[in-house]
Amino acid sequence: MPTAKKRKIIHVDMDAFFASVEQLDHPELRGKPIAVGGTSDRGVVAAASYEARKFGVRSAMSSKVAKRKCPNLIFVKHRFERYKEISAQIRSIFLEYTDLVEPLSLDEAYLDVTYAKKGLPSATLIAKEIRQRILEETGLTASAGVSYNKFLAKVASDVNKPNGMFVVTPDKAQDFIDQLEIWKFFGIGKVTAKKLNAIGVWYGRDLKMIDRLELTRMFGKAGNYYYDICRGIDNREVQPSRERKSVGAENTFLQDLFLEDELKKELLIIAEKVWERADRSGVKAKTVTLKFKYADFEQHTRSKTMEPYINTKERFVSESLKLMKSEGGFSKGIRLLGLTLSNFLHEQEGEMGVQLVIEF
């Protein structure tokens, strides 16, 4: 187990954040299965309460499937401004303890408390105090993971969810990783987990048996990451200023679209939104990406990069349409279209970017 650079890292993750906020603000929803997101058959669940999760309802699931799994499911329209308001309140608590706060989203963040601004030197006690303050000041519960690196802190925060905490100390880390199921590894998705399962890798101890060369052959650069994390090695620092790299929008249709004219009309609406957001943010992008999802949920992306950058809305629209036409027809029907601008031009004043916007 590595001994250098033993940081004190906390990963704080709010419990079913969007759904919990709705239950906080609407007492009549407490104790009931609710889903935040689209109410139509073509809608998507943005978040589910723990009462809904007991039925198998999960975020990113179609509303139709969610309703089938939980017939009594209550759909609630999202209120992002309210979530941002509470997120800012929670972040202000974090900043009382350390300036090294790296938000991952509205509901989770890494904190490096190696040299905390206040409180006891114990990261465990700091995490306990932060969770208590979040509960007292917002009425919401949070889970936390504590360890010496980001990977272990992130995984640990899931162990005793909801409203719990788990600590992975350096002397216990390798045993914890060895017994960790491979699908629980942060950074290993479902597809990779299945590929590893197929070759007999089910736990961290199994992954540790594969050498670095073989992992990089199988998974490219990610193989190096897998080789390190199963040995408890993760030297990434907590980054207070995370560069945001894209701006985009997408739309899921009430009915599958087959006709080119219909798809063109929808694409133009999406392009207008994306360009307006990019223009407002002052970014200059080099790459446009088209995303489309067929009726059977098969998903594809097509991208094009232009130099020095995409300088007009007309060019952006034109290139977006070309990407769509290059597919050569959508015989299966399209249920979702999306556009993203990325690969931002680096100005003299620094790198600029905005976060990817997802439409529900």
Taking residue 151's Cβ as centre, other Cβ atoms within 10 Å add up to 26
DSSP structure string for 223-282? HHHHHHHTTT---PPP-SSPPP-EEEEEEEEEEEE--HHHHHHHHHHHHHHHHHHHHHHT
- 329 and 270 in contact (C-beta within 8 Å)? no
Separation CA 207–CA 197 (nearest Å): 10
Identify the residue whose tokens are 């969770």: 131
Of the candidates 307, 248, 252, the residue with the CA atom closest to the CA atom of residue 273: 248
Q: In the structure encoding, which two tokens stand for residue 269, read together?
A: 């609406």
Residue 350 Ramachandran class (φ > 0 left, ψ -120 to 50 alpha, else beta): left
For residue 319, the cross-strand partners are: none
Taking residue 293's Cβ as centre, other Cβ atoms within 10 Å add up to 17
Reduced to 3 states (helix: H, G, I; strand: E, B; else coil), residue 137 is: helix
Separation CA 201–CA 315 (nearest Å): 48
Separation CA 316–CA 300 (nearest Å): 19
H helix or E strand, kind and range, residue 95: helix 80-97
Residues 6+ apart with CB under 8 A from 12: 90, 94, 108, 109, 111, 127, 130, 131, 134, 142, 143, 144, 157
Query: Before 121, cis peptide (omega within 30)?
Result: no
Whether 108 is catalytic is yes
Tell me whether strands 74-76 and 34-37 are parallel, antiparallel or unpaired: parallel
Q: Which of 22, 51, 108, 319 is catalytic?
A: 108
| Helix orientation angle between 80-97 and 123-138, rounded to the nearest 10 degrees | 140
Q: Which residues are catalytic?
A: 108
